[in-house]
Amino acid sequence: MFVKRAIFGLAIASMLAACGGSTPRETVPVALPEPEPERRCVKILFAGDIMAHMPQVRYAFRNGSYDFGDTFEYMRALFEGADIVVANLETTLSDIGPYSGYPCFRSPAALAEAAAEAGVDVLMLANNHMMDYGAEGVRNTVRILDRCGIAHTGTFADSVSMAERNPLVVERNGVKVAFLNYTYGTNGITVPYGISVNGIDTVRMAEDIVRARAAADAVVAYVHWGDEYSRRENMRQRQISGFLHSHGVRTVIGTHPHVVQPVVRTLRGVTAYSLGNFVSNQRLRYRNSGMVAEVDIVKEGDAVHDTLRVVPLWVRGRDYAVIPGCVGDTLAMPESERALFMQAMADVRESVAAR
């Protein structure tokens, strides 16, 4: 009996010692690994000037109505692979004619309908032709875009629209992108009371950028600027680009010259000085081509960075189909068209890299 009690006592003592007893062990903190920041990405495709000269409008008229589907047919796969597709609408829109081309553009609503059906999400309206038909032209244009489900910014039919869409914030995949849009002018046409067009005014632009950065993860500025048909950016473009980057805009996209201009990357961001035409009836070399800028904006925790890839485009003259290089490389076409396509691809690549 004494032996059993002794053994029992030793067991209790061992248990107390194991639980700490009167001599607790020192605890050593264990450093847990920092969790990896969540990585989110949004892919944006930026296209250039959507124009509608009268030969395009006449070609689109068939069976008593307008159909611009041919223009976007070969772009669908690219558009479907993007989260946001953006372009510059360099014409006003109307449900009824008469329609007109240069110098005062008014195009069928079917142009916007075809763009929406192909996957265009956002159209920029601050350009030198948006006032071609005054306040009525602006109101008709934004009404048609709203009906088609296409977001827009840059020109506003009233103060309410401006408050809601300047900046225009679009969210995809948990990443918020703010779009700002400006133009050098409106071809001397006075902007009527109640209508607003964002001009290139650095004081106003700085204020817009502050609000855009507070509302979004990344800011894109889409600027209508430069010299028409010049394949190089001018000093003013470089100054405005530097101003935008210095105020926190990572991506600057340019339109208006109707030809492709260089893409310049710096530590502060990237500027595509001119995307050239997306579609038009301009047939001369350099004007019958353009590019899409494919921008990936990546957010990792609080850090945001971006990359830009160029997709060259060629407009086929017989049906105004916009053909990206990745499609045209394998598309059957006559030898004469193949030569024009190959020249356009080379011209775009040369212009992008020119410094």
Q: How would DSSP label each residue in 198-267?
A: -B--HHHHHHHHHHHHHH-SEEEEEEE-S-TT-SS--HHHHHHHHHHHHTT--EEEEESSSSB--EEEET
Rounded to 5 degrees, what are φ and ψ at 146?
-60, -40
Span 160-183, average pLDDT: 97
Which has the closest alpha carbon to 328: 63, 78, 48? 78
In the predicted structure, residue 29 carries a pLDDT above the cut 80: no
The reported pLDDT for the residue numbered 140 is 98
Q: Contact at 8 Å (CB) between 277 and 53?
A: no
β-bridge pairing 175-183 and 196-197? unpaired
Amino acid present at 344 = A
pLDDT in tens, 70-124: 999 999 999 999 999 999 999 999 999 999 999 999 999 999 999 999 999 999 9
Contacts of 237 (CB under 8 A, 6+ apart): 225, 226, 254, 273
pLDDT in tens, 318-332: 999 999 999 999 999
The reported pLDDT for the residue numbered 25 is 61
The reported pLDDT for the residue numbered 15 is 40
Which CA distances in Å does 59 have to 118, 142, 321? 19, 25, 11
- Separation between Cα atoms, residue 237 and residue 252, nearest integer Å: 11
What the block records as the tokens of 210 is 């502050």
In the predicted structure, residue 9 carries a pLDDT above the cut 50: no
Neighbours of 37 (CB within 10 A): 11
Confidence of residue 21 (pLDDT cuts 50, 70, 90): very low
In the predicted structure, residue 349 carries a pLDDT above the cut 50: yes
| 288: DSSP letter | S
In the predicted structure, residue 155 carries a pLDDT above the cut 70: yes
The reported pLDDT for the residue numbered 302 is 86
pLDDT in tens, 211-270: 999 999 999 999 999 999 999 999 999 999 999 999 999 999 999 999 999 999 999 999
The reported pLDDT for the residue numbered 355 is 74
> So what's the architecture of 39-353 in CATH?
4-Layer Sandwich (3.60)
The reported pLDDT for the residue numbered 24 is 55
Which pTM was predicted?
Answer: 0.89
Of the listed ranges 1-10, 53-62, 177-186, 342-351, the one predicted with least confidence: 1-10
* Tokens 């950016």 -> residue: 233
Is the peptide bond prior to 55 cis by the omega test (within 30 degrees of 0)?
Answer: no
SS3 state at 186: coil
